[in-house]
Amino acid sequence: MLIDGVLGPSESGKFIVKHGSLVKVNESGVTKVAEQILEAAKDGSIKESLFLSPELHPKSGDKEAVQWVFLVDTINFSFWPDEGAHYDVSWNGKSYTGYFSACAAVNKALAAGIPILSAEWMKNVSEEEIDHIFKSDSGHSIPLLGERVKAINESGRVLLEKFDGEFYNCVVKSEKSAQTLLKLIVKNFTSFRDFAEFHNQKVSLLKRAQILVADVYGALQGHDEVGDFKDISSITMFADYRVPQALAYLGALDYSKELLDQIGEGKRLENGSAAEVELRGASIAVCDEIVDKMNDLRANDSRFAGVREVTAMEVDVFVWGYRRLHAADVEKKIPFHRTRCIYY
């Protein structure tokens, strides 16, 4: 259990697949994806230091990098634009979309001297200022502006009240445990409580909370042993709207006709609805199965003897990156589900 009768993400994924009817795990697809990822690990195209790969992420490995990660993951949700709008942000001569647009906006603000990483600033910042900082190049406001302001304000207030203004102090309290840090995040910061109920069972998906743990781990790797989480492999994939789409495209998930009729252009799923919870839960379960299959292949298939272990969060980053590289083909074949919420 995570807290108060809520299943943790991995257990939630298993429960949801067992009791769901709209999404099925495709075992041959699981094997195919497992082999594809192991080949990438073998040839080095999937890097161990995943956090450091994107050019927009901080490389300093210090307390400020942890604070940057915390702020960005506080607003790491729902970047897809409304119909007719566009959300992109330029930085250093390059235009970014999605999650990377938020990273670019934060870096622009820092370069302009705005104390955006200060807990005091987070606690008191206005909607007008956040709108200005995160405004798209095309003039559109970032989606769910009011909800982002609320989340930033809460994050600043809780940092000041409980962690002396720095998320690094929360990391220290975890005592090098990813699961302890996950529980600290969920207990103290309400915007990270990505819970649902499915077949009378409280479940958790925790996309943002788990990404925050993973990003802290990545940001501090090789710099500060406070982030050397001994149980980092217990973090699951990060259940959003793009990774399920890519997993279905790659053949690891099978969508039923009933589900396909509910998703796609112009259609939305409510956060917490049976279809939405099942899509996300099945994504967690199938990534765990891909990890199990990779471990089996590493032990029993000579092609992959000596290949390092690959975690579920690395499976997520690989699949998410694959979708970005093959966006046009993926969009033609499999729609992504649209859910406006603060959890992903």
Please identify every residue annotated as catalytic. 240
d(CA 101, CA 137): 10
CA-angle at 160, arms to 70 and 223, nearest 5° = 40
* Interstrand relation of 253-255 and 23-25 (parallel, antiparallel or unpaired): antiparallel
Residues in Cβ contact with 229 at an 8 Å cutoff, skipping those fewer than 6 apart: 174, 176, 177, 178, 181, 213, 217
d(CA 44, CA 55): 19
Cβ atoms < 10 Å from Cβ of 49: 9
- Rounded (to 5) percent helix, strand, coil in the chain: 55, 5, 40
Residues in Cβ contact with 259 at an 8 Å cutoff, skipping those fewer than 6 apart: 22, 23, 275, 278, 279
Indicate the residue type of 91. W
Contact 248, 334 (CB under 8 A): yes
Residue 204: phi and psi, rounded to 5, are -130, 140
